[in-house]
Amino acid sequence: MGTQGLGITFLTLPLIMRAAAGGQWCYDSQDPQCGPSHWKELKATCGGSKQSPVNIDRRRLQRDRGLGDILFEGYDQAPPGKWTLTNDGHTVMLSLASELVSEHITISGGGLPGRYRALQLHFHWGSPGGNGSEHTLDGCQLPMEMHVVHMNTKYQTLAEAKGHPNGLAVLGFFFQVSKTPNTNYNTIVAGLRNISHAGDSVDLASTFRLSTLLPRAGRLSGYYRYQGSLTTPDCSEVVVWTVFEEPVEIGREQLQAFVSTLHFPAVGSMLPKMTNNFRPPQPLHSRKVFASRAATASGGSPHRVPHQLLSPLLLLALLGPSLPTP
Ligand SMILES: *[C@@H]1O[C@H](CO)[C@@H](O)[C@H](O)[C@H]1NC(C)=O
Ligand SMILES: *[C@@H]1O[C@H](CO)[C@@H](O)[C@H](O)[C@H]1NC(C)=O
Ligand SMILES: [Zn+2]
């Protein structure tokens, strides 16, 4: 990919992965013969020991006080260029047409091993009757999940980044259904009708700040961190994962637009609806999932309450032998 623009890097990302897989991959809802249980036949890495997504068991988290706030830069400025929305055959992807802009949308801090620039974001969802997040919380799926994919700025190309365990950083956001629509998603939802077939792409009518797609800034301190992989072939184990506690709210009709508007590539004469485009949770093996300093779920850590907030009396009560363990 050499000196190609990031905007281009962006759009060719899924194509490269498909080529690398040495064959077609898909979700069971498109064709069970190339679904997630077959991916390791296309690419051995998909059967590796650090795969994503995972179930986040909130009773088994390990608190890491080094996981403070992530610094979001460029998330709060509307990019001068247009957002491009693409049906890549597996998901809906939002990318920037211009390299110069995406170079200025970065994340750092929060225990991330470096600075990372945004490449693209995309979604995973379910069916009219079922949730479709990739990560699960205490064994439960949420309705939808968004992934904002970033590449370590010390690498020049995606191929180079994929050679290092800290090459990519992906931010994962759960969605929750709210009574009212989330108007910040109007432009994306309206664009879905224009990309109902695989390969379709549209420049969105209006631009917007990336931060408007996230939960409120004050709610981003609580997150889970672990080392994993891309959740699609080639399943490279190069992703520092951050999954946020606070979900994004979205209206029921808006969620239905994702579930019912788009199509996978044709299978024979059938044109399957793009539904259930999630990979099921993978084994954690020896990995740990860490809770950020401000995450509310602490995994029963004895250090849950900051010491300076404990009155001597409460301390006595907490240490008392008659109390059940938290
Ligand atoms: C689907 O998500 C909702 C939260 O929006 C949750 O209450 C429900 O339990 C989930 N259903 C399943 C089957 O996981
Ligand atoms: C999207 O499709 C509608 C028709 O469904 C059309 O009127 C509109 O111009 C299209 N928008 C873009 C940006 O192509
Ligand atoms: Zn994803």
pLDDT tens per residue across span 220-248: 999 999 999 999 999 999 999 999 999 99
Segment 166-212, tens digit of pLDDT: 999 999 999 999 999 999 999 999 999 999 999 999 999 888 999 99
Q: Mean of the per-residue pLDDT values for the chain?
A: 87
Atom 3 of ligand 1, residue of closest alpha carbon: 142
Predicted confidence (pLDDT) at residue 58 exceeds the cutoff of 90: yes
Residue 90 is among the residues annotated as catalytic for this protein: yes
Decide if 144 contacts 129 (C-beta within 8 A): no
- Chain position carrying tokens 């679904």: 35
All domains of the chain in start order, with CATH: 45-291 (3.10.200.10)
Per-residue pLDDT band at 14 (split at 50, 70, 90): very low
Task: Output the CA 152–ligand 2 centroid distance in Å.
Answer: 36
Q: Which helix (H) or strand (E) holds 115?
A: none
What's this model's pTM, rounded to 2 decimal places? 0.86
pLDDT surpassing 60 at residue 2: no
CB 32: neighbour CB atoms within 10 A? 12
For ligand 2, atom 10: residue with the closest CA: 194
Catalytic residue among 27, 75, 116, 155: 155
Residue 9 has pLDDT above 50, yes or no: no
* Residue type for position 16: I
- φ/ψ of residue 43, rounded to 5: -150, 115
